């Protein structure tokens, strides 16, 4: 399944709009980016997991931030286009997977680990 960069970005923006407002207010010092493919460093974060790296959260999760937190570079969530295209066969499936990936990575920002997120469908 192929999608234009513009449509991929729109799907990410739409997924972000689905986040409840109370969580939006807590999203500080974070950027959301898209990239075509993960690089070797990003792939190395998978800790031996097999499959595709759909997204990556890099930063200090909200619960780990202390009162001295400040003056640091923003956390980054990167959503990877190529892996999404490879695992999805329809446009609808692709949009739903992008939403799931965005929510999963936002979950990491809020301090949830992969086990918890997978158990809750993310």
Rounded Cα distance, 15 and 98, in Å: 7
Under a CB-based contact definition with an 8 Å cutoff, are residues 96 and 54 in contact? no
pLDDT given at position 47: 72
With 0-12 CB in 10 A as exposed, 13-18 as middle and 19+ as buried, what is 6?
exposed
- d(CA 99, CA 50) in angstroms, rounded, equals 21
Tell me the per-residue pLDDT of 10-56, one tens digit each, with 9 for 90 and over: 999 999 999 989 888 889 889 999 999 999 999 998 876 668 999 99
Domains (ranges, CATH) in the chain? 5-119 (3.30.2010.20)
């Amino acid at each position: 399944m192929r999608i234009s960069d513009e449509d991929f970005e729109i799907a990410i923006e739409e997924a972000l709009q689905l986040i409840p407002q109370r969580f939006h207010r807590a999203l500080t010092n974070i950027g959301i980016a898209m990239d075509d493919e993960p690089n070797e460093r990003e792939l190395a974060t998978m800790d031996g997991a097999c499959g595709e790296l759909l997204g990556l959260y890099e930063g200090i999760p909200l619960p780990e931030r202390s009162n001295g937190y400040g003056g640091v570079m923003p956390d980054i969530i990167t959503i990877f286009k190529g892996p999404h295209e490879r695992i999805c066969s329809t446009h609808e499936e692709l949009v739903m997977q992008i939403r799931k990936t965005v929510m999963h990575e936002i979950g990491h920002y809020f301090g949830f680990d992969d086990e918890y997120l997978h158990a809750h469908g993310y």
